[in-house]
Chain A
Amino acid sequence: MSAPSLTPHSYLQRQVRWHPLEYLFWLATILPFFVFPNYLSLASQIAITALFALSLDLILGYAGIVSLGHAAFFGVGAYTAGIISKHGYGDPLFGLLVAALITGVFGLATSFIVARFKHLALIMITLGLGILVHELANSAHWLTGGADGLQGIRIGKLLGIYEFDLWGRTAYIYSLVVLFLVFLMVRRLTNSPFGLALRGIRENSVRMPAIGAPSAAHIRKVYTMSAAIAGIAGALLAQTTSTVSLGVIDFQRSADVLVMLVLGGAGMLYGGLIGAIIFMVARDQFSGINPQYWYFWIGLLLVAVVMLLPNGILGGLSHLYRMLTGRRST
């Protein structure tokens, strides 16, 4: 997509500008209040899952780190928010902050391991860490409640005013605002020189140090940020549903978020968001189907996306859009 005279600087400036479709997308997120007022709980779940997918996009889509254990951070965030609320610190925003801090530290600690590996070993390390954290949460019954789930979560009012209601009105506004703010941050980050360096690392991590971008250090930074965002998403889920069970941290969640991201289109900011919307709505609509069979269609979808739509739904759509407007990508 570059004319020969395009400098990195002007390329980034062009990317920073908002596209009209982006305004449209965020305006559409307000629609559920008027069109589907009975589905606000689902909408808030979608916003949270979208935030989680966004965090995975940051490391997978931009830095090229394939993670099969990203639910570990989501789960640690959820358990953190749940456990501190149990001990009297139920303020939602404070909970978010603590969850982000703790998962950030946890992400930083594991990033030293992750940054050393590539290919199969990397996939195995992330998978192993994910299962390890899941087993820890399962066996630390005194802290997490184990398989019974965390008991006694008490979430306070948002900003001291708004209570989390049964219809999910507060929950949706809260999740949506957090999603939007984090999205702005991630958007700024990916359109910065740092974001460009990450894409370079994804393409060739050996050459990047030669032009002054230390691969391992960059990977550690972005992995830590991604972990903190996943932790925020987990904390949001714990606070808006007032439940934390082992399901927040298991392999299924890691696999699901990967499926969503790829379905929507990895390496594109809106890929995770679109993927989360489609995946969650479809699962809600087909909830009557036995989950065993539901995975047949997920599997078929994955095979189809890989074989036919290498950049996901969003990639296919933007290709179509460029063809229609006559702009060719190179």
Chain B
Amino acid sequence: MGPIIGVLFDGFAYGMLLFLLSVGLSVTLGMMNFVNLAHCAFAMLGGYVTVTLVHRFGWPFLATLPMAFIAAAMVSVLLERTLYRKLYRASDLDQVLLTIGLAFMSIASAAYIFGTVLQPAVTPNWLRGSVVYFGINFAVYRLFLVAVGLAVTVVLVLMLEYTRFGQQVRAAVDNQRMARGLGINVDGTFAVAFALGSGLAGLGGALAIEIVGLDPSFALIYLVYVLIVVSVGGLGSIWGSFVAAVLIGISDMAGKYYVPGIGAFMIYLVMIVLLMWRPQGLFGKR
């Protein structure tokens, strides 16, 4: 019984991480249908901001997390205003090419500035080690991750359900043209949503260092995971991303733990089967 709960918990914590990394992409994809393959480059930026602040400037870990969020959000909104917005009505292919080009550039820049080595962990002592409940080991950091993930989920849901901004976002996801017709400034709303989503990715990148490490290939490797979560969860749906992230996190962990032989491609199988069953994703409307 113990190992099963342990695997479920680890998978859930991993899922929370995937959720932080992917929820922003899901919302922006749902609003503008813009395929942003540079999303994880923003996450990587957040990770490097945290590493630099902790090791170079001696900031406490918790204080660097908001900075990771802000840095990723600012860079993303800069790119959105200069490059992305010109391609909202372009084909999928053009969007894929532009953003994968940016991802390539970010990887090369990270390799140039920080080298290709895995960055050292930045976790403070009080987040290390593990606690035992009911005879089962829980890593403190993973508990912290789950708490942050759940807190972000609650804030996002409240914001989307009960604020004016959230209503505008939901209207734009449901029907962009109708929302424009009603006088909603979709472009402006989108820019804010885009910055928020990229900021969350930056936060996810900073939190991911302890779990999966950080090196320049992060922007591509986790992009695949994030895209899986988004396409399985359905575009523009926070609950969809949440459920899909947990599902993918747990199946990845369980796959690697119980069937190591095929564990590496367990999640791809899960994704293909789920997409065959529901091409628009679990919670997608289109």
What residues of chain A have their CB less than 8 Å away from a CB belonging to chain B? 60, 66, 68, 113, 116-117, 119-121, 123-125, 127-129, 131-132, 135-136, 138-139, 251, 255, 258-259, 262, 266, 290, 292-296, 298-303, 305-307, 310
Contacts and interface: CB of A to CB of B under 8 A. Distances in A.
Contact of A131 (B83, B106, B265, B280): B265
A214 to B, nearest CB: 19
Contacts of B271: 124, 128
A120 B224 contact: no
The 3 closest A-B pairs by CB, nearest first: A302-B101, A299-B104, A296-B108
A294 B220 CA distance: 16
Interface stretch (B145-153, B156-164, B167-175, B227-235): B227-235
Interface residues of B, number: 47
A302 B100 contact: yes
B35 A120 contact: yes
B231 A292 contact: no
Contacts of A138: 264
Contact of B231 (A120, A139, A255): A120
Contacts of B116: 292
B100 A255 contact: yes
Contact of B275 (A121, A131, A293, A305): A121
B172 to A, nearest CB: 17
A262 B97 contact: yes
A292 B115 CA distance: 10
B33 A305 contact: no
Contacts of A301: 101
B92 A299 contact: no
22 contacts: A113-B272, A120-B35, A123-B92, A123-B96, A123-B227, A124-B271, A125-B275, A128-B228, A131-B268, A135-B265, A259-B97, A290-B111, A293-B108, A295-B105, A296-B112, A299-B103, A299-B104, A299-B105, A302-B98, A306-B101, A307-B98, A310-B94
Contacts of B220: 251
B279 interface: yes
Contacts of A116: 276, 279
A146 B100 CA distance: 28
A128 B108 CA distance: 24
Given A293-B108, A295-B108, A299-B103, 20 more contacts: A116-B276, A119-B92, A120-B29, A121-B281, A123-B96, A131-B265, A132-B272, A135-B265, A139-B264, A290-B111, A292-B112, A293-B112, A294-B108, A296-B109, A298-B104, A299-B106, A300-B105, A307-B83, A307-B86, A307-B98
A292 B109 CA distance: 9
B74 to A, nearest CB: 20
Nearest to B264: A135
A303 B105 contact: yes
Given A132-B265, A296-B105, A299-B102, A125 B227 contact: no
Interface of chain A: mostly helix, strand, loop or mixed: helix
A306 B98 contact: yes
B96 to A, nearest CB: 6
Contacts of B86: 307
Please classify the interface of chain B as helix (H, G, I), strand (E, B), loop, or mixed, using the class held by over half of its residues: helix
A296 B262 CA distance: 34
B102 A120 contact: no
Contacts of A296: 104-105, 108-109, 112
A310 B87 CA distance: 11
B155 interface: no
A139 B268 CA distance: 15
Contacts of A119: 33, 35, 92
Nearest to A303: B101
A301 to B, nearest CB: 7
Interface string B61-97: 0000000000000000000000100110010111011
Contact of B83 (A121, A303, A310): A303
B261 A139 contact: yes
A303 B98 contact: yes
B224 A66 contact: no
Nearest to B220: A251
B63 to A, nearest CB: 31
Interface string B203-238: 000000000000010001000100110110001000
A300 B103 CA distance: 10
Contact of B93 (A66, A131, A132, A300): A66
A220 to B, nearest CB: 16
Nearest to A60: B93
B178 interface: no
Contacts of B281: 121
Contact of A66 (B92, B106, B109): B92
Contacts of A66: 92-93, 96
Contact of A299 (B35, B108, B268): B108
A66 B91 CA distance: 10
B35 A295 contact: no
Nearest to A301: B101
A131 B94 CA distance: 23
Given A132-B269, A295-B108, A303 B279 contact: no
